[in-house]
Amino acid sequence: MSTATPDTTAEPEEDGELKRSITGRLLFFYTLGDVLGSGIYVLIGLVAAAVGGAFWIAFALGVTVAAITGSAYAELVTKYPRAAGASLYVNKAFGSRPLTFLITVSFLAASMAASGSLAVGFASYFDTLWSGPPALLVSIVFVALLVVVNFIGITESVWMNMVMTFVEVGGLVIVLVIGIVYIGQGDADFGVLTQIDTSGDYGSPALAVLAGISFSFFAMTGFENTANVAEETIDPFKAFPRSLVGGMIVAGVVYVLVSMAAALTVPTETLANSDAALLEVVEAGILPFSTEFMSTLFSIIALIAITNTTLVTIVTQPRVLYGMAREDVVPAVFAKVHPTRRSPWVGLIFSGAVVGSLLVIGTLVTEAGGGIDLVGRLATVTVVLLLAIYALVIVACLKLRGQDEDQPFFRANTPLLFVGLVGNVAILFFTVYDDPHSLIWCAGLLGVGFVLFLAEYLFGSKGTGARTPDPTTTEI
C-alpha cells in the first residue's frame, strides 16, 4: 500500500510517471462533458418509448444511482490517487489477480464498445451534413484523429473536452429555451409529465420506468473515466469529490430539465419514433428562426457532443492499461510513457487498433444481414459491463473501510452506498433480461482479453512489480 504526499506541481517526478496538470476546474468540466455527452442526444427517443411522457423520471432515477456510485469512486480515488480506476480498487479490496484482470478487461471492453457505438453515431450525423464518404471510413478517421489528440497530451485533451462541453451544453440550452418559449405561449400540457405508458411491452409503471432507466443509463456512464486521470490531477483529494459528484449533479439537473422540455413541446409518439429525438424539438418551429438553419446547427452540435464523449473514452483506455501494467496485471509494455509527450503511447495505439477492428467487424456483420442495430447493441454491451463494475466498486469501497486511512480522504454516505448497490444490480438484471443476446457480445469482447492474459502469464514479470518508485510515495 502507499501513502502519497499531494503533488501540486505540473511536472512528473520520474520518467515513468504521468504528468500532473489537471486542475479541479478542468476536472469538473471533464466529468460534466463526459456524462452530458452524446447519450442524451441519441437515446432520449428510446426512453420516451419505454416510459411515456413521464420519461424524465427515468433520467432522474438513473442519474441518482449513478451519482451514488460516483461518490464511491470519489472516496476510493482520494485514498488511491492513481490511474486504473475500478481495476485498482478491486485489486486493493480482494487481492485477486484473476478478478482484477477480469475487471480490467471488462472495463476496457465496455469503453471500447462505447467508443465504437459513438463512432458509428458520429458517422450517422456526419451523413446528414455530407453523404459522400463511406460511414466506416468516417468512423475510423474520427477515432484516429482523437487518438492523435490524446497522444499530444492529456492537458490538450482536457482543454479540448472543456471547450466542447460548452458547445454541447449550448445545444441543450437551445432545447430548454424552446421549452420555455412554448410554455410562455400557453400551449404546454403539463399533464403529459405524469403519463406512464402501461400499454406497451412492460405492462406496469414500475417495469416501464425500469426499462427507461436501462435505456438511459448509457447517458449516465462516463463518470468512471474521471478516476483514471487521478495520477494526472493536481491535489486529487480536493479536486475529485467536488468535481466528480458536482459534475454529475449538474448533469442530472440538465437531463431532467431537457427531458421535460422535450416532452412538453413534442408528442411522445414523435419522440419515440425518432432516431434523433432532440432534433424533433428543434425542428418543431417554435423559435423564430429558419428550421433548416436550426437543424444544421443542432446536427453540428450533436457531432461535437459525440466527439467529446468519444475523446474521453479514448483518453481512458490507455490509462487503464498503463495503471494495471504497473500492478503486473497486464504486460509491462503498456506502462511505457512517451518521453516528451508524457502519454501512455503503447496502450493508446493498442486501444485505437481494437476500436478500429471493432468498427470493421461490426460493419461487416451488419452488411452481411446480421439483423442488429450496431449503435444500440454496443451501447447495451457497455451498460451491462459497467453496471457489473459499478456494483463491485461499491462493494470494494465498503470492504476497504478502515484501510489506508492515514491521510485525508473523502468518505461516501454508507446507507446511500447500499442503495446504489441495489440500484445497479436491479438495472443490470433487467437489462440482461430485456436483451439476453447482449451477453454473447459481452463474452466475445471479454474473450479478446485472454490474449493479454496469456501474454502476461507467459512473458510477464510474475509479480515482481512493474511500478516505477515515486519519491513522494512510501511503499509498505
Amino acid at 380: T
pLDDT of residue 38: 64
405: DSSP letter? -
Q: Where are the domains of the chain?
A: 18-467
Nearest to 37 by CA among 314, 416, 408: 314
Nearest to 66 by CA among 399, 387, 306: 387
Cell matching residue 69: 456510485
Given 3.40.50.1370, 2.40.10.10, 1.20.1740.10, 1.10.1060.10, which CATH number is that of 18-467? 1.20.1740.10
Cell matching residue 370: 446480421
Q: Is 236 exposed, middle or buried (0-12, 13-18, 19+ CB in 10 A)?
A: buried
For residue range 298-323, list pLDDT tens digits in order: 888 888 888 877 887 887 788 777 87
245: DSSP letter? I
Cell matching residue 161: 473536452
**CA atoms of 424 and 131, how far apart (whole Å):** 40
Nearest to 418 by CA among 68, 58, 61, 63: 68
pLDDT of residue 397: 94
CB under 8 Å to 96, separation ≥6 — which residues? 90
**CA atoms of 282 and 225, how far apart (whole Å):** 31
Nearest 5°: phi and psi at 475?
-80, 140
CB under 8 Å to 57, separation ≥6 — which residues? 51, 196, 209, 212
Sign of CA dihedral 95, 234, 144, 127: positive
Nearest 5°: phi and psi at 474?
-100, 115
**CA atoms of 169 and 298, how far apart (whole Å):** 11
**CA atoms of 9 and 77, how far apart (whole Å):** 19
Phi-psi region of 186 (alpha: psi -120 to 50; beta: other; left: phi over 0): left
Q: What kind and span of H or E run contains 4?
A: strand 2-4
Nearest to 380 by CA among 420, 433, 419, 426: 433
Nearest to 316 by CA among 30, 4, 118, 90: 30
Per-residue pLDDT of the chain (476 residues; tens, 9 = 90+): 333 333 434 444 444 555 566 777 778 877 777 777 667 776 788 888 889 999 999 999 998 999 899 899 989 988 887 766 788 889 889 988 788 888 888 888 888 888 888 888 788 778 878 888 888 899 999 999 988 887 876 666 667 767 887 888 888 999 999 999 999 998 889 999 999 987 767 778 888 999 889 888 888 887 777 776 766 777 777 778 888 888 888 888 989 999 999 999 999 889 888 767 888 898 888 888 888 888 888 888 888 888 877 887 887 788 777 877 776 767 878 888 877 767 788 888 888 888 888 888 878 877 776 666 677 778 888 899 999 999 999 999 999 998 877 777 888 899 999 999 999 999 999 999 888 888 888 888 888 777 777 777 777 655 444 444 343 332 22
**CA atoms of 212 and 45, how far apart (whole Å):** 10
Nearest to 108 by CA among 374, 458, 350: 350
